[in-house]
Amino acid sequence: MHEAWSNHEVWVYECQNCGRTWDEEFEARHVADGHGGEAVAYEHDGHSCTTPWTDHMCPDCQRARVKAWPAPWRRHRAVPPTRKGDDLELVFRLRRLHAY
């Protein structure tokens, strides 16, 4: 059985063509691959999407010259809207890893 957990991420974008900036919110779903590794799948508005730093287009000038970086200072939602039970799952996981 694979374990999965998710966290909320905010990414900031800046168009290198017209200078517009904006941000987008993602859910990063982490899935253990069963071999000690981890795969991450991103969701945006409930739909799976490519990674936040690729394939972005400026909403103003429609150019793809967009710079992206994660915005840790914008984590206004400290607790992501996860399903009930996810937090408990995380606690169990950390205990198994002897994280605390």
Q: Of 30 and 63, which CB lies nearer to Zn ion in the complex structure?
A: 63
Nearest to 23 by CA among 59, 63, 49: 59
CA 8 to chain centre: 5
Give the contact letters, 36-75, x = binds to Zn ion (CB under 5 A), - = no: ----------------------x-xx--------------
Q: Of 7 and 17, which CB lies nearer to Zn ion in the complex structure?
A: 17
> How many C-beta atoms surround the C-beta of residue 11 within 10 A?
20
| Residues of this chain that bind Zn ion (CB under 5 A) | 15, 17-18, 20, 58, 60-61
